[in-house]
């Protein structure tokens, strides 16, 4: 078997804002395995400034994987604990090798019978008019779960946007989630959570920055809103430490981004530990191309969860790969009658 890797820059259709800044492009990497002409592809979805493995030696580690492909999947994963996005790429590439089509990694009713996955509609940060226009488009698109990024514009403006949604739709009609990306300070967080709770929100993701376990635990205990941990999970790969984090903070939910928490294997470990403690969870993509999103979606479907997942990011980029994935009426479909762009493999292998 031979292996290689390739860098690919995804370009946003419109600059996308979070409390950490505005993104215009997203760097991603692909592992390409070639076993006697059979191609396996895996995406290593690095997020600059957030990924645990955003380090100068990232390309060197990709080359190491290619040089040591003979180790096999399990040994490679064991050696890559500090590189969760590469772990996920390795998992995908080996699954892809086993697939008849390179892209059907988890055959199911999702891939074969057009059975969809419920997803949330994502509202990016911007001025009030832009955010409200996004809300309108999501509602027109049939979404009954909306996730809004908050923390970068005036808090009162964000409250007004939530108020305008709730004036039209009850919590039974539209589920609202907000994601602060750690934007609140520990001193102000509780007051803001109390103000947000007036709008019957489902949950808030990461209200304060990660690695402040005591403050987060206090918030989770006293908050009028359910709290979901997101960035808090990044960089924790030891099972004992994972269990300690969940026990110490005791959140209502955790959010799993396979590219950031050790791929499928690492995510399933988090799920098992969370369920032991009665903690809910859902899965979210991390701005991967349709190749990585396809893998996440197929795996997520096998988890048999009905909660809306965060898998609606495939339409963000101008140069994404054409795929069978489609968002319609607030759900993600994999159309078995639609094909991948015939040039995908050729493009990545040259």
Is the predicted pLDDT of residue 161 greater than 60, yes or no? yes
For range 190-207, the mean pLDDT: 97
Is the predicted pLDDT of residue 192 greater than 60, yes or no? yes
340 versus 92: the higher-pLDDT residue is 92
Yes or no: say if 292 and 285 are a contact pair by the CB < 8 Å rule.
yes
pLDDT of residue 195: 97
Range ranked top by mean pLDDT from 4-18, 140-154, 267-281? 267-281
Residues of the chain with CATH 3.30.390.10: 2-103+343-349
Handedness of CA 49, 263, 310, 210 (dihedral sign): negative
- pTM equals 0.95
pLDDT of residue 87: 98
Is the predicted pLDDT of residue 339 greater than 90, yes or no? no
* Cα atoms found within 13 Å of the Cα of residue 215, Cβ hemisphere only: 16
pLDDT of residue 144: 93
113 versus 249: the higher-pLDDT residue is 249
Across the chain, mean pLDDT equals 93
pLDDT of residue 177: 97
In whole angstroms, what is the distance from residue 114 CA to residue 108 CA? 9
**Domain 109-334, CATH number (from 1.20.1270.360, 3.20.20.120, 3.30.420.240, 1.10.3720.10):** 3.20.20.120
Is the predicted pLDDT of residue 225 greater than 80, yes or no? yes
In whole angstroms, what is the distance from residue 95 CA to residue 73 CA? 10
21 versus 240: the higher-pLDDT residue is 240
pLDDT of residue 18: 64
Residues of the chain with CATH 3.20.20.120: 109-334
In whole angstroms, what is the distance from residue 26 CA to residue 4 CA? 21
The catalytic site residues sit at 149, 257
- The CATH superfamily holding the domain 2-103+343-349 is Enolase-like, N-terminal domain (3.30.390.10)
In whole angstroms, what is the distance from residue 300 CA to residue 293 CA? 10
Question: Which of 8-22, 72-86, 180-194, 293-307 is predicted with the least confidence, judged by mean pLDDT?
Answer: 8-22
Is the predicted pLDDT of residue 292 greater than 90, yes or no? yes
pLDDT of residue 129: 86
Give every CB contact of residue 6 below 8 A, 6+ residues apart in sequence. 29, 30, 32, 348
pLDDT of residue 288: 96
Q: What is the pLDDT of residues 260-269, one digit of tens each?
A: 999 999 999 9
Q: What is the pLDDT of residues 80-121, one digit of tens each?
A: 999 999 999 999 999 999 998 889 999 999 999 899 999 999
Query: Looking at the DSSP assignment, which residues form a beta bridge with residue 32?
Result: 4, 41
Confidence band for 330, pLDDT divided at 50, 70 and 90: very high
Is the predicted pLDDT of residue 22 greater than 80, yes or no? no
Confidence band for 17, pLDDT divided at 50, 70 and 90: low
Q: Cα angle vertex 169, ends 163, 170, to 5°?
A: 90
Encoded tokens for 100: 């008849």
Is the predicted pLDDT of residue 345 greater than 80, yes or no? no
């Amino acid at each position: 078997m031979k292996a290689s890797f390739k860098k690919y820059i995804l370009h946003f259709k419109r600059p996308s804002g979070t409390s950490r800044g505005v993104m215009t492009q997203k760097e991603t990497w692909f592992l390409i395995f070639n076993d006697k002409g059979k191609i396996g592809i895996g995406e290593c979805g690095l997020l600059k400034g957030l990924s645990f493995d955003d380090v100068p030696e990232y390309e060197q580690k990709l080359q190491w994987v290619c040089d040591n492909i003979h180790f096999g999947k399990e040994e490679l994963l064991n050696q890559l604990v500090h590189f969760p996005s590469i772990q996920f790429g390795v998992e995908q590439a080996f699954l892809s090798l086993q697939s008849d089509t390179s892209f059907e990694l988890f055959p199911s009713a999702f891939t074969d019978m057009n059975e969809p996955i419920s997803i949330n509609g994502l509202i990016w940060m911007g001025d009030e008019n832009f955010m409200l226009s996004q809300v309108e488009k999501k509602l027109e698109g049939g979404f009954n779960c909306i996730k809004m990024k908050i923390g970068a514009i005036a808090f009162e403006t964000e409250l007004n946007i939530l108020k305008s949604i709730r004036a039209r739709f009850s919590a039974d009609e539209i589920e609202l989630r907000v994601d602060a990306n750690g934007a609140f300070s520990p001193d102000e967080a509780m007051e803001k959570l109390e103000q947000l709770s007036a709008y019957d929100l489902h949950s808030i993701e990461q209200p304060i920055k990660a690695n402040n376990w005591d403050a987060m635990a206090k918030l989770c205990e006293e908050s009028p809103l359910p709290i979901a941990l997101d960035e808090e999970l990044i960089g924790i790969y030891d099972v004992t430490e994972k269990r300690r984090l969940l026990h110490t903070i005791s959140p209502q939910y955790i959010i799993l981004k396979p590219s950031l928490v050790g791929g499928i294997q690492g995510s399933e470990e988090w799920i098992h530990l969370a369920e032991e403690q009665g903690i809910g969870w859902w899965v979210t993509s991390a701005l991967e191309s349709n190749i990585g999103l396809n893998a996440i979606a197929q795996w997520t479907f096998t988890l048999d969860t009905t909660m809306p997942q965060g898998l609606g990011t495939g339409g963000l980029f101008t140069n994404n790969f054409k795929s069978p994935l489609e968002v319609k009426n607030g759900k993600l479909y994999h159309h078995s009658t639609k094909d991948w762009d015939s040039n995908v493999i050729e493009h990545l292998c040259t």
